[in-house]
Amino acid sequence: MRDLINQTRLGIRSNLYYLSLYGALALPDICGALSSANGQASGEKYKKWFDKYVGEKYEGFLDGEDCYFFRCSLLHQGSSQHPKNTYGRYIFIEPSASGGNIFHCNVLNDALNIDVRVFCEDILAGAETWLAEAEKDEQFVKNFTKFMRRYENGLAPYIVGLPVIS
């Protein structure tokens, strides 16, 4: 889990905003699933997780439901527009183009402007807080055995001696 968080953060620092945004938006699903009895993601788990671990930073602008709809439209259609969203679209100004200014939580007509770095970091910080709590939970420990991870020396009996991700 820490590898996923760290790689998403590395993407932000490397100006890989698409990849970072996709990774950050997937984290509430993953965290919600790992903490659940059935180990499966759902819209309700996503919304609840976002509201608990990130929502406070976006009060009045973005809640779990809107973030979930945004996640659905971006991850499944490659779009920042979802018909059930409060906003017509989401707009991210690339930090390198902003002259050092941060444009975050601004409503522009029917669009919400969010700083991509701040947004991703907020979700990553929420995931780190959640992980510190979840690692002690029996349900997490059970579900985490299935979590995709990197195996430095392979995964016997399939491949041994080479790093693999499985």
DSSP letters, 106-123, are: EEETTEEE--HHHHHHHH
Structural domain of 126: 2-165
CB 29 within 8 A of CB 1: no
Pairing of β 106-108 and β 159-160: unpaired
What pLDDT score does 40 carry? 97
Whose CA is closest to 12, among 23, 1, 26? 23
For residue 66, the model assigns a pLDDT of 97
Report, in angstroms and rounded to the nearest whole number, the Rg of the chain calculated over CA atoms: 17
Strand, coil or helix: 62: coil
- CA 100, distance to chain mean position in Å, is 24
- Between CA 58 and CA 54 the distance in angstroms is 7
pLDDT tens for each residue of the chain, 166 residues long: 999 999 999 999 999 999 999 999 999 999 999 999 999 999 999 999 999 999 999 999 999 999 999 999 999 999 999 999 999 999 998 887 777 889 999 999 999 999 999 999 999 999 999 999 999 999 999 999 999 999 999 999 999 999 999 9
Question: What confidence score (pLDDT) does residue 98 get?
Answer: 73
Total domains, the chain: 1
